[in-house]
């Protein structure tokens, strides 16, 4: 009995779904796809568990061996088992299958496993699309210039693999050149979208909790040794650009967290110091003689405090000055932030202070450091003036045999006593902590301030660079009529730390980043290279990564958009994108090569052959193609030879107009042959 549905499909020249054959994946395209898998997953090896990196590498190497030996792919049950094993291992490693790190691990694993089941062209397309998606995940760990260049190269490779997948065998150089040309054509559109697409504050991938892991900086507490590892780091904490003359290095105190609670070992901030309702507001009295205007580009540290010169008198939007004169943002700084400050270098801070705050600044834990208490008591009995007591403590540090070092001996329960009278070796946190304990024992309100001191001017771009190695701790005492006054006990022991930086204050054997301690010619050469590289990085950070909503409004205002809202930006984006498309189209049409009638007829015949699974290679001549058709499809041999002969006569010989008609007739016969076979 005839099947009416099949008859309908035959009339419409549509094949049933069950009979639709997938286009087979060419053997020569597989190395391109394996290269894509390696290039998109390799940078993640630094962040993935070692077993997953080895597992993925083994899968890709195994697939390469199967390709070279032309062996069969693994059975589906084995692939399903590998999926279960890999997914279970990732879930066990991260205790979840969600979040940034676990999600990236799954993507890398699937990218390594997918080539094991590549049979058809569409499988190769899946690998390429997954590769494009994996490119975005590299920015989770690094947004540097080298990362951007690597991803641009890999995007070119992905495009080249796509060309090879659909364009057949071609010279490698031609494929790469064509891919690079396609990427270059996208650059104008990229610039338009970068400038005009409405910016989102913060990274889009900042939602998962683990997206901010690994951020370093000052801590919310201080104990002996807590600043040690930070000082040994050469990483950049922030950069400052001054609109006014740069102050002397000795005045560059960048204020961070303030600690007023001590338990004998660790300093912390008390809840009282963070209570704005229980304290007098932070009041800064200043004269107009020493004012600094500057812009800070702060690296993410996952805390709320913003670095500012002591003391800020003008705050950025979205921040507040707390009772202990800490500048706090509304949210933790989890991405690079740029903000402007104005600070008064000569000031009086809280000439009148709340009794509760002063009482908190006098508390000491009972039973700790009896020798320090006794020494402070002697000063209190003989010196009635708080400033004289402070001077006596600084004189004690200066005249006794104290040493500034990043390798102090370990301290016990009475840490301040052991430091003051036994070891006498330490760095800024030891001196500031001991000084504050002495002042409190003498009845003078005092507290510890942490932050950064100094900085290094980059001669290439003029920015002041402050590194983690510039981390510092100092003290404040409250004096009647003068408010909170900064005292830096470290300056009494190692004045070169304040005047020239930590590299000049430490002995030769102490660990520091190499470029912090410049003492040889080759290090000077490296320093000059570093200046240039950091200037380039800073420009990248300021104008590319730091292109936030505020910076976008500034740029668009300079370009003539007085009030750049999302509607005006969307309209401008559409207009400029259309202009770019028009220019590219005009340029393409101008370079277009005119196609002769015989070439058009021959191309239609070749497209007809593609329906039979025969794709002409760009280098393949008409007679070579006809011979290959004869080998692969003998039923089409004579038709292909006739078409090739007509085209060769028309193109290269003395062809007649009737031969053009005969070539077109071959194409019609090819289509008729197709209908008969269906």
Could you give the residue numbers annotated as active site? 428, 472, 488
For residue 523, give Cα distances in angstroms to 530, 538, 576: 10, 22, 48
Nearest to 106 by CA among 127, 128, 134, 126: 134
The count of residues in the chain is 678
- Helix, strand, coil percent values for the chain (each to nearest 5): 55, 15, 30
Apex 149 CA angle, 533 and 33, nearest 5: 155
H or E element in which residue 478 lies: strand 471-479
How many other C-beta atoms are found inside a 10 Å radius of the C-beta of residue 619? 11
Query: Which single residue is written with the structure tokens 């003051």?
Result: 420
Q: How far apart are CA 437 and CA 419, in angstroms?
A: 12
> Encoding tokens for residue 449?
């301030």
- Among 287, 261, 324, 320, CA closest to 476: 324
Question: Which strands sit side by side in the sheet containing 261-262, from one edge to the other?
Answer: 221-222, 267-268, 261-262
How far apart CA 674 and CA 678 sit, in angstroms, is: 6
* CB 323, CB 275: distance < 8 Å: yes
> What's the token pair of residue 533?
């590289």
Angle at Cα 114 formed by Cα 77 and Cα 182, nearest 5°? Answer: 160
Beta-strand pair 221-222/267-268 = antiparallel
Round to whole Å and give the CA distance between 617 and 630: 16
CA triple 365-367-373, angle to 5 deg: 80
Q: What is the 3-state secondary structure (H, E, C) of 34-78?
A: HHHHHHHHHHHHHCCCHHHHHHHHHHHHHHHHHHHHCCCCCCHHH
Beta-sheet strand order (sheet of 236-242): 312-314, 337-344, 291-298, 236-242, 464-467, 456-457
DSSP 3-state assignment of 223?
coil
Among 422, 431, 466, smallest CA distance to 449 is for 431
DSSP output for 418-443: HIIIII-EE-HHHHHHHHHHHHHHTT
500 φ, ψ to 5°?
Answer: -130, -5
Q: Look-up: residue for tokens 């054509």?
A: 185
Give the dihedral of Cα atoms 604, 608, 611, 616; nearest 10 deg. -70
CB 326 within 8 A of CB 257: yes
Task: State the Cα–Cα distance between residues 595 and 606, nearest whole angstrom.
Answer: 15
The helix-helix angle for 100-113 and 50-69 (nearest 10°) equals: 20
């Amino acid at each position: 009995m005839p099947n009416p549905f099949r008859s309908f499909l035959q009339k419409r020249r549509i094949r049933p779904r069950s009979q639709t054959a997938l286009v087979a994946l060419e053997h020569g395209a597989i190395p391109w796809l394996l290269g894509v898998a390696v290039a998109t997953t390799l940078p993640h090896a630094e962040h993935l568990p070692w077993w997953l990196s080895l597992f993925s590498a083994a899968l890709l190497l195994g697939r390469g061996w199967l390709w070279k030996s032309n062996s069969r792919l693994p059975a589906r049950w084995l692939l399903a088992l590998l999926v279960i094993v890999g997914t279970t291992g990732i879930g066990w490693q991260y205790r979840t299958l969600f979040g940034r790190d676990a999600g990236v691990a799954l993507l890398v694993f699937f990218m390594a496993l997918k080539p094991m089941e590549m049979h058809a062209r569409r499988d190769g397309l899946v690998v390429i699309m997954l590769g494009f998606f994996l490119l975005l995940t590299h920015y989770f760990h690094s947004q540097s210039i080298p990362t951007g260049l690597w991803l641009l190269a890999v995007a070119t490779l992905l495009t080249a693999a796509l060309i090879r997948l659909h364009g057949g065998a071609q010279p490698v150089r031609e494929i790469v050149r064509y891919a690079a040309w396609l990427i270059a054509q996208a650059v104008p559109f990229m610039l338009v979208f970068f400038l005009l697409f409405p910016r989102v504050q913060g990274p889009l991938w900042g939602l998962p909790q683990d997206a901010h892991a690994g951020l370093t900086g000052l801590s919310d507490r201080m104990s002996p040794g807590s600043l040690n590892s930070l000082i040994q780091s050469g990483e950049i904490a922030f950069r400052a650009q001054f609109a006014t003359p740069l102050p002397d290095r000795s005045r560059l105190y960048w204020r961070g967290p303030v600690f007023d609670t001590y338990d004998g070992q660790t300093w912390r901030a008390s809840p009282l110091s963070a209570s704005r309702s229980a304290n007098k507001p932070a009041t800064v009295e200043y004269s107009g003689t020493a004012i600094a205007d500057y812009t800070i580009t702060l690296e993410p540290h996952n805390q709320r405090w913003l670095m500012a010169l002591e003391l800020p008198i003008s705050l950025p939007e979205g921040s507040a000055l707390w009772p202990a004169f800490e500048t706090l943002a509304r949210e933790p700084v989890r991405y690079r932030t740029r903000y402007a400050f104005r600070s008064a270098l000569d000031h009086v801070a809280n000439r009148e202070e709340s009794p509760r705050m002063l009482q908190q600044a006098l508390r000491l834990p009972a039973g700790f450091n009896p020798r320090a208490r006794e020494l402070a008591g002697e000063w209190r009995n003989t010196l009635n003036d708080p400033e004289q007591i402070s001077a006596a403590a600084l004189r004690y540090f200066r005249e006794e045999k104290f040493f500034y070092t990043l390798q102090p001996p370990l301290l016990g329960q009475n840490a301040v006593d052991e430091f003051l009278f036994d070891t006498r070796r330490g760095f800024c946190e030891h001196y500031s902590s001991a000084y504050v304990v002495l002042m409190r024992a003498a009845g003078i309100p005092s507290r510890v301030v942490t932050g950064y001191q100094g900085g290094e001017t980059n001669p290439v771009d003029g920015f002041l660079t402050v590194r983690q190695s510039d981390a510092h701790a100092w003290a404040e005492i409250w004096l009647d009529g003068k408010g909170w006054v900064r005292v830096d006990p470290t300056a009494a022991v190692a004045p070169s730390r304040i005047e020239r930086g930590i590299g000049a204050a430490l002995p030769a054997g102490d660990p520091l980043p190499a470029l912090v301690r410049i003492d040889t010619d080759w290090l000077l050469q490296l320093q000059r290279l570093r200046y240039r590289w950091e200037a380039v990085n800073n420009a990248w950070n300021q104008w590319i990564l730091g292109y936030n909503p505020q910076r976008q409004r500034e740029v668009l205002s300079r370009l003539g958009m007085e009030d750049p809202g999302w509607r005006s930006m969307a309209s401008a984006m559409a207009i400029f994108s259309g202009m770019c498309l028009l220019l590219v189209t005009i340029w393409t049409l101008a370079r277009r090569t005119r196609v002769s009638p015989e070439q058009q007829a021959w191309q239609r015949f070749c497209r007809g052959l593609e329906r039979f699974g025969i794709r002409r290679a760009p280098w393949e001549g008409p007679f070579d193609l006809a011979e290959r058709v004869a080998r692969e499809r003998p039923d089409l041999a004579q038709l292909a030879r006739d078409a090739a002969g007509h085209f060769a006569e028309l193109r290269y010989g003395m062809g007649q107009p009737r031969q053009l008609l005969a070539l077109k007739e071959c194409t019609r016969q090819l289509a008729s042959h197709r209908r008969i076979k269906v």
